Amino acid sequence: MRLNELLGFDNIVIQCHDNPDADALSSGYALFWYLTKKGKKPRFIYRGRNRISKSNLLIMIEELQIPVSYSPDPEERAELLITVDCQYGQKNVTCAEAENVAVIDHHQVTEALPPLSEVRSNLGCCATVIWDMIRDEGMSMDDDVLLSTALYYGLYTDTNRLSEISHPLDRDMQDQLMINRSIITKMVNSCISLDELKITGKAICEHEYFEDNKYLLIKAEWCDPNILGVISDFSLETVGVDVCVAYYVSPGEIKFSVRSCVKEVHANELAAFLADGIGGGGGHITKAGGSIRPEKLLAKRNDPENELENAAGEEFRKRLDEYFSMYEIIYAKDIVLDTSDMKAYEKRPQKLGCLELADVFPAGTTVEIRTLEGDINVRIEKGIFLMIGIEGEVYPIKKEKLENSYRFIDEEYDAVFEYEPCIKDVFSGERKNVRGYARPVMSMGKARIFSRPLKRHVKLFTAWDEEKYYLGTPGDFIAVREDDPHDIYIISKRLFSNLYKEV
């Protein structure tokens, strides 16, 4: 859906979920801004039994001039009702009937969506969805600092103080918004009430500790999601604790926060595992989180009568136990794989992208390479190139290996990805897209690898990055270059046959 499809209606109501949070308020605010700029006169409301009472949200509404109103009673039938940060029909939305309904959201889909809908469950907040949709209309919010600040705060709160951002589009919005930092600081320091302080202490005192794998599981009462981050951050400082998962259960959503202080457990990957099939999760290597839809959890367990809080606790314990028992950890720099049970392969002719990093920024510059898979920090040196795979994945390669395996071809580099990788100077903030510098290369099939399918899950620390592991699942391929026994890597089972042929 494009936003301009909403312009054919006149009597428009924007509604966020009951007990709205900062993301719901900022999303509705941005949509109100867009429709007003286009000459419409929308109303922005929330319903439910309770008015907004949290200090930080009251400050947000007043300081950022958010035109939202409380409308507890059924309204006149709108020509178009747009729900933001929620889906029409969900339990946390008190909706009236309307002639037409539209949905803009970032949560897992749980209801039948109307034709007018835009749901991006891979994004950290609904604010990013609407920010990107407004950009697609050729409009900029750069001159509206109050709106930009609201969008930033929506992202900030829905990703637990930016610690649970996983999609590069969320990071792009974070980087590009022009905000009023003093208002952000005022809101950030008005989040915890005395009651929430009690919730924090009670939850920590009632923790569950699993000594074999050194993790804590902490259940809190229903609270602001940021409190979960406070609980898990504090608890992770405990001696003998490597990982902490804190969660709460509410009728409409189960929220959880994940923290890790060991390189063998990436918090973002654990969060995704905990929510797989029943919600969504992501974030950073050390800080992450996510949410689970109660109805999906109960349906998956085939036990709709099970009390929700018990079901959530049981599911977290089960998945954490599975997670810690399922992985083999491989450190490429310390191991030489036995290739006797591996087959030899060479690359099929494949057009990829390649650029020399020193052509983008001078040698010695520390850059951040932003991709769909995450951010990679690299210090540029002469002779270090960047390969761009067929799905936009990137990895560094030395000149010698590049010349042994690929040849440049005289064509335009025209690959299209879901998210185009970009390179940012860490110190100056200057950003450049790889497309302006990438050239196409064709694999020559000279360098051989030995490879075999994985029979179990693997976490691989490559020789060029000892801090971040690559995940391999059963059916993926583990591979090692014939000319370098420590150049070990994982190849997706989905891509392997397209990239390699047996020799």
Q: Tens digits of per-residue pLDDT, 160-172?
A: 788 778 788 999 9
DSSP count for the chain of H helices, then E strands? 13, 29
Q: Quick one: 254 and 355 in the same domain?
A: no
Domain boundary among 301, 325, 349: 325
Q: Quick one: 249 and 377 in the same domain?
A: no
Domain boundary among 142, 165, 188: 188
Q: In angstroms, rounded to a whole number, what is the distance separating the alpha carbons of residues 291 and 275?
A: 7
Q: How many domains does the chain have?
A: 3
Q: Quick one: 351 and 305 in the same domain?
A: no
Q: In angstroms, rounded to a whole number, what is the distance separating the alpha carbons of residues 129 and 121?
A: 10
- Picking from 99, 125, 104, the residue whose alpha carbon sits closest to that of residue 1 is 104
pLDDT for res 178: 94
Q: Quick one: 163 and 22 in the same domain?
A: yes
pLDDT tens digits for the chain (503 residues)?
999 999 999 999 999 998 899 999 999 999 999 999 999 999 999 998 889 988 899 999 999 999 999 998 877 889 999 999 999 988 788 888 899 999 999 987 877 899 999 999 889 899 999 999 999 999 999 899 999 999 999 999 888 788 778 788 999 999 999 999 999 999 988 877 788 889 999 999 999 999 999 999 999 998 888 789 889 999 999 999 999 999 999 888 899 999 999 999 988 889 989 999 998 887 778 888 888 989 889 887 766 555 888 999 999 999 999 999 999 999 998 999 999 999 999 888 888 999 999 999 999 999 988 877 677 788 899 899 999 988 888 888 889 888 888 899 998 888 888 888 889 898 888 889 888 899 999 987 667 899 999 999 999 988 877 777 888 999 999 999 988 899 898 998 988 988 888 88
Q: In angstroms, rounded to a whole number, what is the distance separating the alpha carbons of residues 389 and 404?
A: 17
Q: Which domain holds residue 228?
A: 194-325
Q: Quick one: 40 and 75 in the same domain?
A: yes
Q: Quick one: 184 and 198 in the same domain?
A: no
Q: In this structure, what DSSP letter does residue 467 have?
A: S
Distance between the two ends of the chain, CA-based, in angstroms?
Answer: 47
Q: In angstroms, rounded to a whole number, what is the distance separating the alpha carbons of residues 3 and 34?
A: 9
Q: Could you give the angle at the alpha carbon of 240 between the alpha carbons of 237 and 242, nearest 5°?
A: 65
Looking up residue 56, the CATH number of its domain turns out to be 3.90.1640.10
Q: Quick one: 157 and 30 in the same domain?
A: yes
Q: For the whole model, what pTM was predicted?
A: 0.65
Q: Quick one: 260 and 184 in the same domain?
A: no
Q: Quick one: 210 and 274 in the same domain?
A: yes
For 307, the token pair is 């009390």
Q: Quick one: 168 and 20 in the same domain?
A: yes
Q: Quick one: 172 and 308 in the same domain?
A: no
Looking up residue 204, the CATH number of its domain turns out to be 3.10.310.40
Domain boundary among 188, 210, 236: 188
Report the run of H or E that residue 105 belongs to, with start and end: strand 101-105
Measured CA to CA in angstroms, residue 483 lies from 318, 362, 392, 398, 409 at distances of 43, 30, 26, 14, 25
Local structure of 218: helix, strand or coil: strand
Q: In angstroms, rounded to a whole number, what is the distance separating the alpha carbons of residues 86 and 117?
A: 11
Q: Quick one: 184 and 243 in the same domain?
A: no
